[in-house]
Amino acid sequence: METFTLSLPSALAATAPATSPTAASAAPDVICGIVASGNLEILVEPQGSSTCTFEIHTAAEGFRETWDAVLADFVQRHPAGGLRFTLNDVGSTPAVVALRLAQAHELWLRGRAA
């Protein structure tokens, strides 16, 4: 098991939590995916910072460079500033991680809009 935390700059997610923390925190937290072999679950919560923070718990050790690349790509493609993603991973491939992050992100945005 390997655990690490990483904060990256990203365009603000919809309503900026930094300028309007109450609006962001009004959106419900979102859980996406399942903890299973080759899969992962992701918890999305707003946080009081304009960066995007990832807390990774992964069963597969020694893939830090790949994680960095996947997460850097994600914050570039999606406005995720002000969000905190907690990942429980059981050895999923970057394809699965990227897919789940996109799904979790959209679910959170949808919850906010609702």
Partner 1 sequence: MSKLTMNDREHRLARLSAFRQGRIVPAERMVEVLNALIEPGDRVCVEGNNQKQADWLAECLAQTNPDQVRQLHLVQSVLALPEHLDIIERGQVERLDFSFSGPQAGRLARLLEGGKIQLGAIHTYLELFARYFVDLTPKVALVAAQMADREGNLYTGPNTEDTPAIVEATAFRNGIVIAQVNQIVDRLPRVDIPADWVHVVAEAPRPHYVEPLFTRDPALITEVQVLMAMIAIKGLYAEYGIRRLNHGIGFDTAAIELLLPTYAASLGLKGKICTHWALNPHPTLIPAIEAGFVESVHCFGSEVGMEDYVAAHPDVFFLGPDGSLRSNRAFCQAAGHYACDLFIGSTLQMDLQGNSSTATRGRITGFGGAPNMGADARGRRHASAPWLRAGAEGARPGQMPRGRKLVAQTVETFREHMAPTFVERLDAWDLAESAGLDLPPVMIYGEDLTHLITEEGIAHLCRCHTPEEREQAIRGVAGFTPVGLARDARAVENLRDRGIIQRPADLGIAVSDASRDWLAARSIKDLVRASGGRYHPPAQFRNW
Binding site for partner 1 (CB under 8 A): 38, 60, 63, 66, 69-70, 73, 91, 93-96, 98-99, 102-103, 105-107
Phi, psi torsion values for 27, nearest 5 degrees: -75, 140
Phi, psi torsion values for 75, nearest 5 degrees: -70, -20
Task: Choose between 51 and 92: whose C-beta lies nearer to partner 1.
Answer: 92
Task: Choose between 86 and 103: whose C-beta lies nearer to partner 1.
Answer: 103
The Cβ of residue 105 has, within 10 Å, a number of other Cβ atoms equal to 23
What span, in angstroms and rounded, lies between the C-alpha atoms of 67 and 69?
A: 5
Task: Choose between 8 and 107: whose C-beta lies nearer to partner 1.
Answer: 107
Output the smallest distance, CB 69 to partner 1, in A: 5
